[in-house]
Amino acid sequence: MINRDYKGFNRSKPLFSRKKSRRKGAIVTISALSVVFAAVSYLAMTPGEESSTQEKQQEILTLQLSTDDNNSTANSANLDTESNSLPLTDGVLEPAKQKLSTNEQAHSKNPQNSQDLEQATTAIKEFVKKTTKPKYDWQTVKVAKGESLSRIFNKLGFSSKDLHYIMQSDDQVDILKKIRPGHTLEFAANENKGFQELRYPFNSSDTLVITKLADKEFDVSLDKKPIEFKQRFATATITSSFYNAGKQAGLPDGVIMELAGVFEYDIDFALEIRKNDSFSVLYEEKYIDGKKAGYGNILSAEFYNMGEHYAAVRYTDTNGRTAYYTPEGKALRKSFLRAPLKFNYVSSNFNPKRFHPIQKRVKAHRGTDYRAPIGTPVRAAGDGRVVKSAYNRFNGNYVFIQHGGNITTKYLHFSKRAVKAGQRVKQGQIIGYVGSTGMSQAPHLHYEFVVNGVHRNPRTVKLPHAAPVPKAEMARFQEHSKPLVARLETERTTYFARLNDEKSAGSASNSKLQK
């Protein structure tokens, strides 16, 4: 009976053999998940971070091998104790294999486990080799005066051939033609010290990125940071000048100039600003990564000038055209500029009985003389066609523009003309530069405004408005503009109420001191 029960007993095998451990699935799954996690973490880095991160540490892969038996558990514990994380390099993978050899010996009776482990290790190495980006050496270059991109490439030891193909790779690389002294460029060199990548932050939110893919092949892209816009309010009463009032209200120079541009069709900011005039403006501030990065557009504004009230709201129609309108929908922009240049002062007004300083006789002055430095740009007062662009001994260099509605504008004494006869021009386009050619005693622009052949005073003539908001868009305009106008009024009311409270508190304090 006993012999029958132990029939087939083999002395080389233990009586109670340990169950086979199925480790193939655990090894492959855990290893794959660890590699994917490490690769995703690496690829999530921005290009500027990759080199600094690689210098600090390599990607870490934690190999945690679970087992069902005591032997394997002890070996795994030793492995984790000695190194909680293993850098994924050949120098570390080999020792790791040696540590795992104990497990392989323990399972020598099942060679399939050892083969599976070897395949998993090889797969990990190949995966990381394909997905891990190579290490690059980055350096920052600040453009010096007189330096070009070609000279910078030469100084860094990069091939001029690379620069040639970069400039032909995409239209966006034209941005590189605008580099100026003080701008910053970031370059990455590969292991052969050759060009690999260029990053050019050409403004506060956009960076041009050029990456070499292969010989004569480059990838060009724009790295854009999200911009946050916040609304800001400012108001001031003019005591000395419009510019000083704007600065005291905390407005940037650009917003001050833009505000003048919004109302330039109704207000002559060189001659018509008076003490106690006031303005209020609602505009945008730009923030990038939580830091102020400039200003955006003026959303709504109002101006009190010599007792007259002017209001403006910015609106973009369904065709994408943006302009400023009154709250009622009338275009703030006129068909003509009140003054076609930025001038110092008016040296001679429109005067039918003026005594001519050169000819020494009474001769009608049928225009306005704007005194300005030589070279000051002169703009077309309105859209039209250049009918004359020439020179004579009286007018010097001059330009005549024909507009719609039988209106002609004339510009005399240019130092240089910028348009030719027959050319179409847009309002605001530069047509010449202030000079003192012809019959002129000093640098100035002589400007005439002619309606149906009759000369009119350019400073007082009623200028026609541009087209108003179309009736089909009036509901959309009102929905957009009413909140902006209401916000401007609320902010202004709150500001002056707070100002009055502060004055009252100050008066009460002074009264107590006097007592």
Mean pLDDT to the nearest integer, 146-150: 88
Cα–Cα dist 218/168, whole Å: 10
Instruction: Write the CA distances from 251 to 274, 288, 324, 327, integer angstroms.
Output: 20, 19, 20, 23
| pLDDT, position 82 | 40
450, pLDDT greater than 90: yes
Mean pLDDT to the nearest integer, 88-105: 52
Set out the domains of the chain in order of their start, with CATH numbers.
Answer: 137-224 (3.10.450.350), 226-333+466-505 (3.10.450.350), 345-456 (2.70.70.10)
| pLDDT, position 51 | 45
Region of poorest pLDDT, from 66-70, 199-203, 300-304, 496-500:
66-70
Query: Which of the four pLDDT bands, split at 50, 70 and 90, describes residue 125?
Result: low
Cα–Cα dist 473/483, whole Å: 17
23, 161 contact by CB (below 8 A): no
Mean pLDDT to the nearest integer, 141-145: 91
Helix (H, G, I), strand (E, B) or coil at 29: helix
| pLDDT, position 502 | 78
| pLDDT, position 462 | 84
287, 230 contact by CB (below 8 A): yes
- Higher-pLDDT residue of 413 and 57 is 413
Cα–Cα dist 196/193, whole Å: 9
> Given the structure tokens 């330039």, which residue do they identify?
264
Percent of the chain with pLDDT over 90: 43
Structure tokens given for 46: 């921005």
CA angle (344, 347, 348) in 5-degree steps: 145
Contacts of 303 (CB under 8 A, 6+ apart): 259, 263, 267, 277, 278, 279, 309, 310, 311
| pLDDT, position 333 | 85
Percent of the chain with pLDDT over 70: 69
| pLDDT, position 373 | 92
Q: Beta strand pairing status for 355-356 and 345-348?
A: unpaired
97, pLDDT greater than 80: no
Mean pLDDT to the nearest integer, 106-128: 65
| pLDDT, position 86 | 43
Query: Which of the four pLDDT bands, split at 50, 70 and 90, describes residue 337?
Result: confident
Mean pLDDT to the nearest integer, 212-239: 92
Mind listing the pLDDT tens digit for each residue in 202-224? 888 889 999 999 988 999 998 88
Query: Which of the four pLDDT bands, split at 50, 70 and 90, describes residue 419?
Result: very high
Region of poorest pLDDT, from 197-201, 291-295, 456-460, 510-514:
510-514
Cβ atoms < 10 Å from Cβ of 332:
21
Mean pLDDT to the nearest integer, 401-405: 90
Mean pLDDT to the nearest integer, 44-63: 46
455, pLDDT greater than 80: yes
User: What is the 3 state secondary structure string of 70-123?
Assistant: HHHHHHHHHHHHHCCCEECCHHHHHHHHHHHHHHHHHCCCCHHHHHHHHHHHHH
- Higher-pLDDT residue of 109 and 192 is 192
Region of poorest pLDDT, from 111-115, 296-300, 307-311, 437-441:
111-115
348, pLDDT greater than 80: no
76, pLDDT greater than 50: no
Residue 403's beta-bridge partner residues? 407
Q: What's the number of CA atoms in the CB half-sphere (13 Å) around residue 135?
A: 9
Mind listing the pLDDT tens digit for each residue in 171-189? 888 988 888 899 999 999 9
Query: Which of the four pLDDT bands, split at 50, 70 and 90, describes residue 232?
Result: very high
Please count the residues of the chain. Answer: 515
| pLDDT, position 441 | 84
| pLDDT, position 467 | 85
User: What is the 3 state secondary structure string of 113-179?
Assistant: HHHHHHHHHHHHHHHHHHHCCCCCEEEEEECCCCCCHHHHHHHHCCCHHHHHHHHCCCHHHHHHHHC
Instruction: Write the CA distances from 453 to 338, 348, 350, 390, integer angstroms.
Output: 19, 22, 16, 20
Query: Amino acid identity of 397?
Result: N
